[in-house]
Amino acid sequence: MNLAIAHALAAFWRTKRLARRLRTRGDVDLWRAARLRHFLRKVITRTPFYAGMSGARLDDLPIMDKQTLLANFDKLNVKGVPYAAVRAALDRGEERVGKLFIGQSTGTSGNRGVYVISEAERFTWLGVMLAKTLPDFPLARHRVALALPGYSRLYASAAETGRLAVRFFDLSLGVDAWRHELRAFAPDTIVAPPKVLRALAEMPGFRPANVFSGAEVLDPLDRAMVEDRLGVRVREIYMATEGLLGVGCAHGVLHLAEDAVVFEFEPVGENLVSPLLTDFTRSTQIMARYRMNDLLRLSDAPCACGSPLQRVDAVEGRQDDVFQLVGHEGKSVMVTPDVVRNAVVDADRRIQDFRIVQTGPDCVVLSLAQDLAPDVPAKAAAALRAALEKIGAPGVAIEFKSGLETPFDRKLRRVRREWWSPR
């Protein structure tokens, strides 16, 4: 067994033991506080950015956004790797700088986050994910199909454990390029973006027992469609460049990975928050109070699975995609993605997919599938108009487009803002 696999197995057992130990909210808080103390005293201070901040409290650290992170990249990782070196290596198609693995987020071009991570950390990530997704591994054998951006090599090595067969399927080629290969592989577990799960669910003979959705927002429409076809519950894996942030439990409820990450929450609009995260398991590149772009709807209701980890009712999209529309007397009105999404989807049961894009200060483009009955688009547009009026943006023009495209080489964002107010 090589060292990398040893890291994965150690993380796997640690995560399982921890899950047994952290029974109550109090257990989680205590354990996290201890890990955080160590992280703030001993780990962050190894980087120039936080040198001299030993013993600081979490609130003493500055909030880190993507721009600050990229501008101070070399001071935020222990090896002093500069951003330009990572960027250049990525552009050459390489996946390492020296011994460190590198990667980038799938954000819009020009604004993509990059990261460095040690091999040990990558395999720790794998071990944690397996512990949270395959509770009976390594007792039971598993055949895992992964169609996720950026994880090919990692999982190719993981296949060496013997009790675990893992195959990577290249998202950028589209589902049709490997549909048959996937069926021949006959996975019992699949992790893929919801659009891929949707496409695969139609395939005869494809019946995995464990279905995980990752890398993109899981819309309730996707969930219903995939669960209906495959007859199993879809569990969400909430992940980002920034790490493994949450995993859905057997009851289909997403729980944040508070056993590895401290989440702070900033309110955004009604009932939604955006997380700041501090990952106390990573030490190559420090991720402290990092501001995520995501919009979460939290819930304090207990989960039937008994987990004390924070429950998330929905990941509603990204802060970048919050509409900024012109309202009464030229005031700017913010509309979160869930509001426009619900208006359109609830307008008619026949709507199974949609795109809603803000293209100007007072212009929104609504797209629906081509094969819908002719009365559906009008109903959807009327419902969208009513929702925008209610929220204080009555003068918005809604343009309708027939036909939907699903990109496989990048993230699908059904609600998107493609217009930015001039500054």
Binding site for Zn ion (CB under 5 A): 249, 251, 253, 303, 305, 307
Q: What is the 3-state secondary structure (H, E, C) of 302-364?
A: CCCCCCCCCEEEEEEEEHHHCEEEECHHHCEEEECHHHHHHHHHHHCCCCCCEEEEEEECCEE
Q: Which is nearer to Zn ion, 22 or 253 (CB)?
A: 253
Task: Determine phi and psi for 286, rounding to 5 degrees.
Answer: -80, 130
Read off φ and ψ for residue 342, nearest 5 degrees.
Answer: -65, -40
- The CB-of-406 to Zn ion minimum distance in angstroms stands at 30
- Nearest to Zn ion of 162, 220 (CB atom): 220
Look up tokens 């980087």; give the residue.
47
Q: Give CA–CA dist 127/16, Å, rounded.
A: 10
Kindly tell me which of 235 and 355 has the beta carbon lying closer to Zn ion: 235
Strand order in the sheet with 415-417: 397-402, 363-368, 354-360, 415-417
Pick 303 or 325: Cβ nearer Zn ion:
303
Give the contacts of 135 (CB within 8 A, at least 6 positions apart): 16
Taking alpha carbons only, the member of 212, 276, 196, 199 closest to residue 242 is 276
- Minimal distance in Å, beta carbon 348 to Zn ion? 32
Q: Please say which residue, 251 or 390, places its beta carbon nearer to Zn ion.
A: 251
Closest distance to Zn ion from the beta carbon of 217 (Å): 19
CB of 249 to Zn ion, least distance (A): 3
Ramachandran region of residue 338, left (φ > 0), alpha (ψ -120 to 50) or beta? Answer: alpha
CB of 25 to Zn ion, least distance (A): 14
Return the bridge partners of 315, or none: 296
Least distance between Zn ion and beta carbon 211 (Å): 16
Cβ proximity to Zn ion, 71 vs 250, nearer residue:
250
Least Å distance, CB 307 to Zn ion, is: 5
Nearer to Zn ion, 200 or 218 (CB): 218
CA distance linking residue 65 with residue 39, whole number of Å: 20
Tell me how far apart the alpha carbons of residues 118 and 132 are, in angstroms, rounded to a whole number: 21
228 vs 298: CA distance, rounded Å:
26
Shortest distance, CB of residue 253 to Zn ion, whole angstroms? 4
For Zn ion, give the closer residue by CB, 213 or 307: 307
Distance of CA 107 to the CA centre of its chain: 11
Amino acid identity for residue 391 in this structure: I
